[in-house]
Structure 1
Amino acid sequence: MGIFGALQSAVSGLKAQSHAMENISGNIANSQTIGYKRIDTSFVDMIPDAPVKQQIAGAVSSYSRSMNTLRGDIQNAETETYMALNGNGFFVTEKADGSGGTFYTRRGDFDIDRNGYLVNGAGYRLTGLDMENGVVTGSVAQAVKIDNAFLPAKRSTTINYQLNLPQTPKTATYVSTTPGSELLKPWSYSGDVQGSPVAPKITGTPVAPTTIPAYGYGNIVTGSALASTLVGFGNTLDVNINGVPTTFTFDTTGLGGATDVDATGTVADMLADMQAQLQAVAGQGTAKVGIKDGRVFVQLAQGNTDPMSFTGTPAGLLGLSSVTSAVTTGNVTAANMPADLMGIHGQQLEITVGGVTRKYMLDATGTLTAGSGIVKVDATGTLKEMLDVIQADLRAYGGPGASGATAAWDPTGGLVVDFPGNYRSDVNIAGPAATTLGIAQSVAASTGTLSTVSAANSELFVKESISGGGITVYSQTGEPVNVQIRWAKVSDEAGIATWSMFYASDSAPGATNAWTKLADYTFDEGVLSGVAGGSGVTVSGTERLAISNLTVNGRSFGSLTMDHGLKGMTQFADNSGMASTTKFTQDGYGAGEFISVGVSDEGQVIASYTNGETRAVAQIITASFSNPNALKRGDGGTYTATTESGEPIINQSGEGIVGSSTEASNTDISEEFTKLIVTQQAYSANTKIVTAADEMLKQALSMIR
């Protein structure tokens, strides 16, 4: 072809570069168009058929090459309905006039039009699948339309409640030095307590004498010493009983008469012989002579009210110069009755309060030795002195239940061992001394129970409990009511703790049921081991309460479930002494007015309402293609499928959708300017070829002339 071929190639080059220039111009023009995908130009050489040695460069042809798979920058947007795709998919849209057809676009500047449809800046409606209650219900994609009607109220049906209760609740009544002060005291709730609260009080039978005989103490002596160190041969002691004297003559040699007191042995032997002779006196069969608390002791027969006095040679023999007068019927008290008259010398007494046992050995002579773990009680004095020792020991070492214990004697009613304020610890009194004193008994303590707390006791209840938080629940009409929860610890023994959960049921003054118990919770070493429901409450394991009729201030909210979860309720130590709520939610809400709509990162269209609720109204779908660069372009950044692109692959997961964002054009201005310069130079070069070929043709024609 020669020169004519060169002209044709140059012309094809001009056409190809013009095509490239047109694409560059369009790319630069749409550099700010949302979702725009640039078009690059590719060139194809066109070689005429010729032998290898005669092949020529040939002409050129150009074609457009789409950059649909090249994502533009994702930019934040203030409009909540704007969205972008972080992937190779396309939004599925239709024309806003409803004329039909399916169009695919990357342009995500969707906003609500006057009809409630989501329409992008190019006028195309977004399509998706309908949703209800968070579940996709639609099967065919249709234009997403936002309904701005009120959201109806929903009645609360479930409360999810999880918390940790402190091991020691620091209530307003808690005192660190007072065991049990952190516990609820049902017996204090007059008019509300159920059952019969019992603080153990053990009353013995009247076993003590009604009169006290005269008695006297003498010198301090040693029972094992020789009697001759105390008395001499022929010494006498006159015991005057009711004006009738009895003379005792002491024999230290063994040569005296049969009626003399044998003083050849020890002091103890001598006093024993003297006791035998005194008991031989009429009416003195139970008289006592011996050593008591280290001193010589003489006491007339039990029940005898005769006066007694002593004289001796030498004067003051044995030191028995002062004698206590007898006490007649009606004047006997624990303070003037010798403890040994109860017949308890050497006997043991066991008092168990709760899990604490105290053991006592009663010593009326001061000569006994108590074994390990046994407290020796001095019973050489009066009965009151003996009881005071036992009482003090119980209060100090008998455990919380015995902190206020009292031990006293009533001449008409017998011995009384009382445990005021102890409504939690059972009491058992045993042992030979308990039998002798008539107090061998067991009495079970009982706190009573509380199912409701009246307004009159509400202040006390608040002081003896801790807050468990509050939550608002809703009626069928959307009426909100705040439900307040309080927890009261009712027992704690041997690692097993029991708590009661109450809710505020009526805040009216004078209300009968200001607080109502929902359930009792038992914890074993901090782990919930059992739940017992209150009135109208059914328990499922330890995880769920079914409340038949929740009533607050006279309003009934019907049945309601309180769900704790598998391990949602615990009782572990907490220095604050307060309950720590980890979850407290409910599923109801009041009516709400539509306020806005947005798009989640899961590709769901979310409507928001004034009641704080949100609703997923549609699931946005996306389409992908096997060859997205083969899609046919349309106005407004839309594409339609072609044979080369393949059929759309629909994705309903919302994967890759980014809410409150838009995708910028993928045009790079600097790159386009570079291509512009290159294209301009190539175009200019092709014009030079045309000019040169024209000159060559002129010269060829000149040769013919």
Structure 2
Amino acid sequence: MGIFGALQSAVSGLKAQSHAMENISGNIANSQTIGYKRIDTSFVDMIPDAPVKQQIAGAVSSYSRSMNTLRGDIQNADTETYMALNGNGFFVTEKADGSGGTFYTRRGDFDIDRNGYLVNGAGYRLTGLGMNNGVVTGSVAEAVKIDNSFLPAKRSTTINYQLNLPQSPKTASYVSTTPGSELLKPWSYSGDYDGTPIAPKIDGMPGTPANVPAYGYGNVVNGSALASTLSIPDGSVLRFTIGTPPVDRDITFGPLAGQISTAAPVTIAGLLSAVEGALQGLTTDLEKVGIKDGRVFVQLEAGSPDALVVSGTAAPLLGLGAITSSIPPASYNSTNVPADQLGLALGGIHNKPLEITIGGVTRKYLLDATGTAVAGSGVVKVDATGSVKEMLDVIQADLRAYGGPDAGGATLAWDTTNGLVVNFPGNYRSNVSIGGAAASALDIADSMNAATGTLAEVSAANSELFVKESISGGGITVYSQTGEPVNVQMRWAKVSDEAGIATWSLFYASNSAPGATDAWTKMADYTFDQGVLSGITGGSGVTVSGTERLTINSLSINGRSFGSITVDHGLKGMTQFADNSGMATTTQLKQDGYGAGEFISVGISDEGQVIASYTNGETRAVAQIITASFSNPNALKRGDGGAYTATTESGEPIINQSGEGIVGSSTEASNTDISEEFTKLIVTQQAYSANTKIVTAADEMLQEALNMIR
């Protein structure tokens, strides 16, 4: 072909470089266009057919090469509806004018137009699948349209409630040194408690003689000491004047026959025993001359109304100068009746056991009416040689000190009207049992169960007391069918704790009106075994399902009914473990209702969902954005505004409904690299200039050829 072939090749080079220059200029022009994909230029040599030894370099042709798979930088955007694709794929769109067709784009600067559609800067509407209650309901993609109407209210049906209750609640009434002060005391709620609160009180009427016989105490003595230590001279007389009219009975001390010897080896105990024997031979009125509680003691027989006077020269040596007169029943009281006069009909109380059990605490006593009883291990010996009051005071003091928290106010008293009364005022929790031979003799062998009473409701009059004896369980707002809000305040009160089994009552504030009889209403009782919830007992109108949930069949607050509502605790959501704060620790408290809300904004989630937000704090997924990918995305046909259409070479779109790769509040920048384009610009310019030189040289050669014929 020669010079003409060279000229044609140069012209093809000029055309190819012009094509490349056009692409470079377009890339540079769109370097700031959102989602723009640059076009590169490829060159193909055009070789004419010729023998091998006559082949030439040939001409050149150019074609455009799309760079659709090369992602641009992801940039943050202030507009919540802007989005980018972090990966392959395209947004599926349609024209905003409704002219039809499906277009694919990487341009994600979508915003809401006046009709509520999401339209990008090039005028293409975003399409997606409709959603309802978080579930995709659409099967055909359609333009995403935002409905800015009010979100209707939803009635609350479930409260998810989980917490840990402290082992020892630090209520306002709690005193660390007072056991049981952390517990609710239903019996204190006058007019509110159900049932009959009972504080155990056991009484009996132990038998006493028709008269308490005359008696008297003398000197303190050692019964095993020799009688000679008393220094009673021979011939000394001990006179007992008994009865009305009085009759003297004389006992003489000395070595003669009929006298009481004080010579060794006679002991004081033996001496007094001899006096008792001799005197009983003179009268049937005498019961005792001997030693009682370490003292010389004289007493007439039980029930004797006779007077007793002890005189004579030996009386002051034995300390028997003062004798108590016989006491008739009308004058009996706990201070003047000897303890050993109780229960005589049943053999008396001396050396007999008495057991008193309060709850799980048992106190054991042995009553000693002579000062000679021996108590075993764990048994308290009670001196019964004095008055009834003195004996009861010893038992009372021991119960208060060691009988457990519910025996702290125990009282023991006796009088002829009420008999012997063992009382546990304020103890409405621990059962009481009294037993033993002494209990039978005293007529108090009995058992009585304590009863706290129960609280189903707390009136406004007792509300302040209730708040002091309970701890806060938190509060939550629930909604009616029309969106009316109401705050549900809850409080927990511990009502019992025995042997690791604790019971708590959950109340909610049901009526804030002054004078209301139902200021607080019990929801349920919760039983914990070693800190683990073992059972729930529902209050009135409450249905329980195992230990996981309960349902208030008709929640009423301040006279307004909010329908049935379920309180869901989950599988292990309620516990009772030690907490130094003494307060309830809430781990979950939420509900499923809400009031009506006004539309305020729309955004894109990480799952590629279009999320509408409302003034009530609720959000709703209104559409699932879909994306399309292609087997050969670089074969898509380019259109205005960064939109593409599918071609035979690109293949059919592969639709993805997962929202994978969608990034909200972002845009994808152009993938044009300015520095790279400038480099290509220089090369293209030089190549174009070189091709012009070939045209010039070929022209000059042709001119020389023409000049040959001149």
* Contact 1:262/1:273, CA 8 A, preserved across alignment: no
Report the equivalent of 2:345.
none
TM-score by length of 2: 0.95
Q: Pick closer, same or farther for the CA change 1:535–1:304 going to 2, 3 Å.
A: same
8 Å contact 1:268–1:291 — kept in the other structure? Answer: yes
**Deviation for aligned residue 1:590:** 1.4
Structure 2 partner of 1:630 = 635
- The 5 Å alignment of 1:50-199 reads 50-199=50-199
Cα deviation 1:563-597 (Å, max 9, x = unaligned) = 11111111111111111111111111111222221
Structure-2 change in CA distance of 1:280 and 1:661 (3 Å)? farther
Q: How many angstroms does 1:59 deviate by?
A: 2.2
Q: Is the 8 A contact 1:491 1:498 kept in 2?
A: yes
Shift of residue 232 of structure 1? 5.7
Cα RMSD of the aligned pairs, angstroms, is 1.9
1:438-489 CA-to-partner distances (Å, cap 9, x unmatched) read: 1111000000001111111111111111111111111111111111111111
Partner of 2:443: 438
1:3 partner SS: helix
Q: Quote how far apart the aligned CAs of 1:67 are.
A: 1.1
Q: What does residue range 566-585 of structure 1 map to in structure 2 within 5 Å?
A: 566-585=571-590
2:612 alignment counterpart? 607
Of 479, 487, 495, the residue aligned with 1:482 is 487
> How far off its partner does 1:636 sit?
0.7
1:561 corresponds to which of 566, 576, 581: 566
TM-score (structure 1 length as normaliser): 0.96
Match of 2:428 in 1: 423
Q: Which residue is equivalent to 2:239?
A: 238
Residue-by-residue CA offset, 1:112-144 (whole Å, 9 max, x unaligned): 111111111111111111111111111111111
Secondary structure of the residue aligned to 1:330 is helix
Residue aligning to 1:276: 277
**CA-CA distance at 1:36 after TM superposition:** 0.7
Q: Distance in 2 between matches of 1:459 and 1:281?
A: 75
- Corresponding residue of 1:247: 250
- Residue 299 of structure 1 corresponds to which residue in structure 2? 299
Residue matched to 1:38: 38
- Per-residue CA deviations over 1:208-253 (Å, capped at 9, x if unaligned) read 34532222222222222333444565543111224321112346x6
The corresponding residue for 1:216 is 216
- Which amino acid letter does the alignment assign opposite residue 493 of structure 1? E
Aligned counterpart for 2:351 among listed residues 346, 349, 371: 346
CA–CA distance in structure 2, aligned partners of residues 276 and 693 of structure 1: 171
Structure 1 pair 129–239 and aligned structure 2 pair: CA distance change class (3 A): same
Q: Which residue of 2 aligns with 1:28?
A: 28
Find out whether 1:644 has 2:645 as its counterpart: no
Tell me the distance in 2 between the aligned counterparts of 1:174 and 1:18.
Answer: 93
Counterpart residue type for residue 420 of structure 1:
P
Q: Bigger shift: 460-469 or 378-387?
A: 378-387
Secondary structure in 1 aligned to 2:679? helix
Matches for 1:261-340 after TM superposition, within 5 Å: 265-284=266-285, 287-314=287-314, 316-340=316-340
| Within-5 A mapping of 1:448-463 | 448-463=453-468
Quick check: 1:206–1:412 contact (8 Å CA) kept in 2?
no
Structure 2 gap segments, 5+ residues each = 343-347
Percent identity among equivalent residues?
80
Question: In structure 1, what is the Cα distance between the partners aligned to 2:17 and 2:5?
Answer: 18
**For residues 525-604 of structure 1, what are the structure 2 equivalents within 5 Å?**
525-604=530-609
Q: Are the counterparts in 2 of residues 248 and 260 from structure 1 also a CA contact under 8 Å?
A: no
Q: Secondary structure at the residue paired with 2:588?
A: strand
Between 368-377 and 177-186, report the one with greater CA deviation.
368-377
Q: Deviations over 1:527-574 (max 9, x none)?
A: 111000111111001111111100011111111111111111111111
Q: Which of 385, 398, 402 is equivalent to 1:380?
A: 385
Provide the rounded CA distance (Å) in 1 between the counterparts of 2:49 and 2:299.
154
Q: Distance in 1 between matches of 2:261 and 2:84?
A: 128
CA shift for structure 1 position 261: 9.7
CA distance in structure 1 between the aligned counterparts of 2:53 and 2:279, rounded to whole angstroms: 164
What amino acid sits opposite 1:324 in the alignment?
T
SS at match of 2:182: coil
Q: Tell me the CA shift for residue 16 of structure 1.
A: 1.5
For the 8 Å contact 1:136–1:618, the answer to whether it is kept is: yes
CA–CA distance in structure 2, aligned partners of residues 208 and 683 of structure 1: 140
- Checking the alignment, whether the CA contact within 8 Å between 1:250 and 1:263 is kept in structure 2 is no
Q: 1:44 to 1:234 in 2, by over 3 A?
A: farther
2-structure distance, mates of 1:606, 1:180: 54
Q: CA deviation at 1:196?
A: 0.7
Rounded to whole Å, the distance in 2 between the matches of 1:654 and 1:234 is 127
Q: 2-side partners of 1:314 and 1:459: how far apart?
A: 72
Q: Is 1:653 the equivalent of 2:670?
A: no
Provide closer, same or farther for how the CA distance between residues 400 and 210 of structure 1 changes in structure 2, counting only shifts above 3 A.
farther
Q: What do the CA deviations read for 1:608-629 (whole angstroms, capped 9, x no partner)?
A: 1222211111111111111111
Aligned AA (1:68): N
Q: 2:363 aligns with which of 358, 363, 367?
A: 358
Contact 2:332–2:415, Cα closer than 8 Å, also in 1 = no
After alignment, is 361-370 or 114-123 more displaced? Answer: 361-370
Counterparts of 1:414 and 1:48 in 2: how far apart (Å)?
A: 139
Name the CA distance, whole Å, in 2 between partners of 1:153 and 1:673.
60
Deviation at 1:264, TM superposition (A): 5.8
Task: Give 2:357's aligned amino acid.
Answer: T
Instruction: Find 1:507's aligned residue among 503, 509, 512.
Output: 512
Give the letter for the 1:238 counterpart. Answer: R
1:56 positional shift: 3.0
Partner of 2:600, secondary structure, is strand
